[in-house]
């Protein structure tokens, strides 16, 4: 589709759609399909493929014979109009990766460069303060990274929320505190076959007081830092059916 994808998607008559690409393609397309009653087949052609991996499509992909799943589209509220997201809303280290150059790299080499860049970020960055309300637990303190995940994978194909279900209407929160810096770096440099060290929680709705001290990412977009503290709401929204009709 060329031109304005939302306009084309609203006008295109179809019962199902095939989206071929990586996470960036899915983030740009899927939120615009919420108003359509159709199924979506994903053909993973990206590098990280965090969404496809979280849906279990990488190992099971065989032509277009793929499992039927549900995928939530999340929404961030409090910065003007609600902003949709597919992968995660993140504060700190993972947000700092956006815009880092990986020119000339592709495939596994690009992922390895991304992981090294994340390690450099975590090793050098100063912690930031954040207050989170997690249905109804309050978590407040200093952090290096806070990721509010709709899926299990994030960043350079890292499994931050192994038990996440992309269609359960819940969000998985993963936090790295300053005292956990060395342990997470060791995990990042190792086999990564175990669950990552850090604080984990699951909630249907997350509220965050953000004063702009750290970067905020909404999938692959950086939000403008506010002039004063704002309260952000993060929730799972409507679902999209993944897979072709029988």
pLDDT in tens, 49-87: 999 999 988 765 555 566 788 999 999 999 999 999 999
Decide the pairing of beta strands 128-134 and 137-143.
antiparallel
Confidence of residue 131 (pLDDT cuts 50, 70, 90): very high
What's the pLDDT at 53? 93
Q: Check if the beta carbon of residue 40 is closer than 8 Å to that of residue 241.
A: yes
**Mean pLDDT for all residues in the chain:** 89
Q: Give the single-character DSSP code of 61.
A: -
Quick one: tokens of 239? 């679902």
State the average pLDDT over residues 159-186. 96
Q: What's the pLDDT at 160?
A: 97
| Lowest mean pLDDT across 11-20, 51-60, 129-138 | 11-20
CB 97 within 8 A of CB 117: yes
The token pair that represents 79 in the structure block: 């910065």
182: phi then psi, degrees, rounded to nearest 5: -65, -40
Residue 234, pLDDT score: 98
Token pair, residue 227, equals: 């002039």
The pLDDT of residue 68: 83
Which helix (H) or strand (E) covers residue 174, if one does?
Answer: strand 171-176
Indicate the pTM of the whole model.
0.91
Query: What is the arithmetic mean of pLDDT over 162-183?
Result: 96
pLDDT of residue 2: 46
What is the pLDDT, as a whole number, of residue 103? 57
Helix or strand (DSSP H, E) at 137: strand 137-143
pLDDT value, residue 125: 96
Per-residue confidence at 8, pLDDT binned at 50, 70, 90? low
Burial 215-236 (b: 16+ CB within 10 A, else e): bbbbbbeebeeeeeeeebebbb
Q: Measured between alpha carbons, how far is 71 from 86 in angstroms, rounded to an integer?
A: 8
> Cβ contacts of residue 144 below 8 Å, gap of 6+?
92, 93, 122, 125, 127, 128, 176, 177, 178, 180, 181
- As a dihedral over the C-alpha atoms of residue 194, residue 197, residue 203, residue 208, rounded to 10 degrees, the angle is -150
pLDDT level of residue 127 (50, 70, 90 thresholds): very high
pLDDT band at 33 (very low <50, low <70, confident <90, very high): confident
What band does 105 get if pLDDT is binned at 50, 70 and 90?
A: low
Confidence grade of residue 221 (pLDDT, cut at 50, 70, 90) = very high
CA max distance for the chain = 54
Mean pLDDT over 20-36 rounds to 88
Using omega within 30 degrees of 0 as the cis cutoff, is the peptide bond preceding 136 cis?
yes
CA atoms of 106 and 97, how far apart (whole Å):
16
Give the C-alpha distances (Å, rounded to integers) separating 20 from 24, 25, 75, 100. Answer: 11, 8, 23, 25
Residue 36 in this model has a pLDDT that exceeds 50: yes
Name the nearest CA neighbour of 210 among 96, 91, 77. 91
Report, as an integer, the average pLDDT of 227-232.
Answer: 94
Q: Residue 187 has what pLDDT?
A: 96
């Amino acid at each position: 589709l060329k031109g304005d994808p939302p306009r084309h998607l609203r006008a295109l008559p179809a019962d199902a759609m095939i989206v071929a690409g990586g996470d960036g393609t899915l983030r740009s397309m899927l939120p615009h399909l919420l108003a359509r009653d159709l199924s979506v087949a994903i053909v993973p052609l990206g590098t990280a493929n965090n969404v496809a991996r979280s849906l279990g499509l990488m190992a099971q992909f065989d032509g277009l014979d793929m499992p039927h799943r549900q995928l939530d589209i999340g929404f961030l509220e409090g910065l003007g109009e609600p902003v949709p997201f597919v992968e995660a809303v993140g504060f700190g280290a993972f947000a700092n990766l956006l815009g880092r150059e990986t020119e000339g790299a592709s495939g596994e080499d690009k992922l390895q460069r991304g992981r090294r860049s994340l390690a450099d970020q975590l090793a050098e960055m100063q912690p930031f303060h954040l207050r989170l309300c997690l249905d109804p637990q309050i978590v407040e303190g200093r952090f290096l990274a806070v990721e509010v995940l709709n899926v299990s994978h994030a960043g350079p194909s890292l499994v931050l929320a192994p038990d996440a279900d992309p269609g359960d209407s819940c969000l998985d929160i993963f936090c790295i505190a300053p005292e956990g810096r060395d342990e997470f770096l060791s995990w990042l440099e190792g086999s990564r076959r175990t669950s990552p060290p850090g604080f984990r929680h699951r909630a249907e709705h997350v509220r965050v007081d953000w004063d702009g001290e750290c970067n905020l990412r909404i999938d692959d977009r950086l939000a403008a830092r506010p002039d004063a503290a704002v309260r952000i709401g993060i929730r799972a929204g409507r679902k999209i059916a993944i897979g072709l009709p029988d």
